[in-house]
Structure 1
Amino acid sequence: MYRLLFALVIVRVPAETVHHLTLRGLRAIQSVPGAARLLRRLLAPRDPALAVRALGLDFPSPLGLAAGFDKDAVAYEALGAFGFGHVEIGTVTGRPQPGNPRPRLFRLVPDRAVINRMGFNNEGSEAAAHRLRGRPGGADRTIVGVNIGKTKTVPEAAAAADYVASTERLAPHADYLVVNVSSPNTPGLRNLQAVEHLRPLLTAVREAADRSSPARRVPLLVKIAPDLADGDIDAVADLAVDLGLDGIIATNTTIARDALHSPPALVKETGGLSGAPLKDRSLDVLRRLRARTSDRLVLISVGGVETADDVWERIRAGATLVQAYTGMIYGGPFWAHRVNRALSHRLRESTFQTLPEAHH
């Protein structure tokens, strides 16, 4: 039904309009007492064999929603109720910003892909912290990661202070924190992936997280681009181990446009490409990170994840957790539930009893 709806109706509506309508519906679900709890009972992962212990947290499934969908922490509980084992909110910046001019989100339907140049449009870290303060407790609460980035108007030299401001506001309310230095849509941001810039930035964020959350150590990860050269990936991996980071998220969107089948006018749009075309490179980066770091870091794989077999392949290649976003756009609201159910079957057909066994 969703495939038919997508082909006949959704593709005719601008992508960002659909995004906002979807968020409005999710917010409505979240605002109705008991609605998210009922949905969770119907759709959330229940197979204990899918449970993953990572970052000091108990994930009901390895499949999470990547950053970029719920930028302002307005719908994470509803999203968790639809079957995601965790939800990463953001990217959140130190100051509110409108992002880039529209249109800035494009579907490449023949490639099952999306190009976005949103530009970190969000209401800022103070607003996100205010929303996260009211998070419900209990075993059914959604695990929420917080992805932070640089405000566009902040010069590169002052980037660390901008990240620190967001960290101080958000660390007390985040289950884990992610430093995003890999979006292609903020000028100069990817320069921060160079280890000489990344080391002082990550050190400052780690110290700020410890200051603002003294009673609980907040896990800290860094998110990298698929367009890094292999030597630079190794350098970031070595740095993460050296600094005692908890993990790496690989990968963000790509600026490459290889072997696409969509109309040339769409392919030429600037921004980060996500979805199926990113699958191979994302998997290559994961395998390289695993070979470089062994079991010393939590690796979260994202990019081109569409099916339970994709999730299984990432776990077998060394990912502890897996994230997706574009897969849900093309798969519909019950996509995460379907993937979890298929992943349970995939596990039962294997020689492993639990997913962590398959990872090792």
Structure 2
Amino acid sequence: MTRRSSGRLQAKAQHGSTHTDKIAKVKKQCNRKKTQNKRLNAETQTPQAQEVGCSGDIAQEVVCRGDVDMEAPVKVMQDSFDQSTSFQCSRPSPFPQLSWGRSEDVWIKMVSKEVKYTHSKSCMDRHPRLQPKMRAVLLDWLMEVCEAYVLHRQTFYLAQDFFDRFILTQDDVEKERLQLIGITALFIASKIEEIYPPKIMELAYVTDGACLEEEILQMELVMLKALNWNLCPETVVSWMKLYVQMASVYDFTNLLVPQFSQETYIRITQLLDLCILDINSLDFEYGVLAASACCHYISFDIVQKVSGLTREAVEDCVEWMAPFAATIINHESVKLKDFAKVSSDDRHNIQTHANHLIMLQEVEDRRMDDLFPLDVYPLTPPSSTEKSSTP
């Protein structure tokens, strides 16, 4: 009985070659074609294109257009290096030696974002129909939405940064569009930060019909283009978390695990939540704002060590923040909230909402009464007796 051979064996008998032989032949042809292309590119490249490593096709396109500076990439890389060097000298890194990366590189990248992601309270000057209080009401509402959908603090502060930087790029925004801009900023931030972000229909629902799903999607495209897709700032809360972690760290081999007191963390975040509603908070860099908040609960020597900031760099912000800190002291102490499906170790990372607008009005009243002269507030936290007394 004759055994039938498979199709592959029959093909080998008929043509004298296997599928492997055919693959080898194709690879040989591809290699020959690559060699020819390299030779052709080397002949067509201009000296400028060869210097920056462009291919022949790209080089020809650049030369034909005549509107691109071929030395720009080299200059940008050099400027970035010079900036990184200056950052490294001005603010020493608080990180120890890291097993997963160079501590100096991590620190330089964080500090350099303070220059890349700029914000300013002058954003309101471009919009005559907007008032600073409108911004405060919007951010307070976004905090409430974050708490309702159990979103993280980083999500809210990303949304706040997107909103402020977007407003800075626009002119004469109508007050009726503020809610649309705010909820869209939160929509973008939640997709970046959250594992399970809320659906767009849910975010449209919380606006009570003021913003449709299609409008949020359209505004998303407008915001991303205006922000030039720069969506990874070091927020106020990310700086604060770093400072508190380094001030409390005891296991330097596991820095990515929280090692600070949740109660202290919550107290500082409540101060930052109140301060960020004030448009004047945009006068300060996020790192300075976070360090100043820590100064009201941690000694300045420790804050200086973990932030690399001098007394002169934070004293103006600490003094500006003093009425906010005193207002919070007069209100009920902050307690950790329980959230369904959130572990106890992660409760402090969930954004919470309080009577911030009422407290913000109290801050304004204190300023009007001139209860807080600038020379009264040293860069050290008040004692326990001072905290319990009413100023």
* TM-score with structure 2 setting the length: 0.21
Query: Per residue, is there more helix in 1 or in 2?
Result: 2
Query: Per residue, is there more strand in 1 or in 2?
Result: 1
* TM-score with structure 1 setting the length: 0.22
Greater radius of gyration (CA)? 2
